[in-house]
Structure 1
Amino acid sequence: MTDLTRVELLHDEGRIERWIRFGRAATEEILDRRRRALWFAPGAVFAFVRWAANDYGTAVSRIDIMRAVRAGEPLTTVPGVSPGGEVYLRLNGWARVERVLQAIDQVETLDIDPVEACPDHWRHIANRLSAGETPRAYSLERHRAWLLRQGTSE
């Protein structure tokens, strides 16, 4: 398990929630009734959502779409992810997080698993939303182009 990326999830209703929106975990570990850990193999892509509230409402809303790295690869540290990963998208603020969740839904409406989507699409969404612009929707044509660049086909 030393070459796997560990993501700690938490569910404390109405206070703190950390969950995976998409991704294929290699294994799962139940820590207690509110916490569990998912382990991702190198190369696995996943979306990690973090949300927390205080007495005045939402305090933190964040989403990271990242790739689990192999030992020795450069990485970015993210709270709750050990050791970290290659970040494709990193946004905060509920309005932006919600837009990313909608973009993930849009990819799924094409019958494409978001883990298989082109990493450049997630980077595009991050850049456009950071600039206050509307990102382009993912398309079957773009996905086919990505598969061709990877040397795979549908």
Structure 2
Amino acid sequence: MNDHAPPTAHRDGRLAVSRSDSLTHVELTWVEKKIEHWVRFGDCVEEKILDRRRRIVSFCAGSIFAFVRWASNDFGTIVSRIDIVRAVAPAEPYQTLPFVRPGGEILLRIDGWPKVERVLQAIDAVEALDVDPADVAPDHWRHVHSRLTVGHEPRAYTRAQHDAWLLRRRAQP
């Protein structure tokens, strides 16, 4: 299916959106020790292999995923970054992000290996609770972003927080 095909119109004038157009697409690249883009967590619903080094994974609106980018040259690391993003629906506003089409709601954006490593540790801590990081309350990832950005220690996510989030999510219309 062509991701860039023009939408078709219904008889009443509304535009039809294909399933592919309603997804958030992330281009992943892996060139050992040069460019490494990967998804740390998230439930992709489609995958398209472009070649042996590149593929595109796609996420449904509302799903949360972590996108890690790392690159180096002959002198060392030049990019070390992690973004935790909520995929958006076609009519929702979004922020743009390299290698993510069209973009998403950025919950966390961290640069620099020491801070990226702290985010990866926070993800590991969530998984140690037997909780999928993609199901964590979005406010937690915002909290981790805010605390690490100013050099403070983020509070750990707890099972009680998660249970409260699940109840609140169920109660939302």
Q: Where on the TM-score scale, by shorter chain, does this alignment land: which range?
A: over 0.9
Aligned to 1:55: 74
Calculate the TM-score normalised by the size of structure 2. 0.86
**In 1, Cα distance between the equivalents of 2:21 and 2:38?**
22
State, as a whole percentage, how many aligned pairs show the same letter: 59
Q: What letter matches 1:36 in structure 2?
A: R
Aligned to 1:3: 22
Aligned to 1:74: 93
- Pairwise mapping of residues 1-154 of structure 1 onto structure 2 (< 5 A)? 1-151=20-170
Q: Give the structure with higher Rg (CA).
A: 2
Identify the structure with bigger relative contact order (alpha carbons < 8 Å, sequence gap 6+): 1
**In 1, Cα distance between the equivalents of 2:169 and 2:110?**
27
102-111 vs 143-152, greater mean Cα deviation: 143-152
Give 1:54 deviation, angstroms.
Answer: 1.1
CA-based RMSD of the aligned residues comes to 0.8
Spell out structure 1 runs of 4+ moving beyond 6 A.
Answer: none
Q: What letter matches 1:50 in structure 2?
A: R
Q: Deviations over 1:97-137 (max 9, x none)?
A: 00000000000000000011010110000000001000011
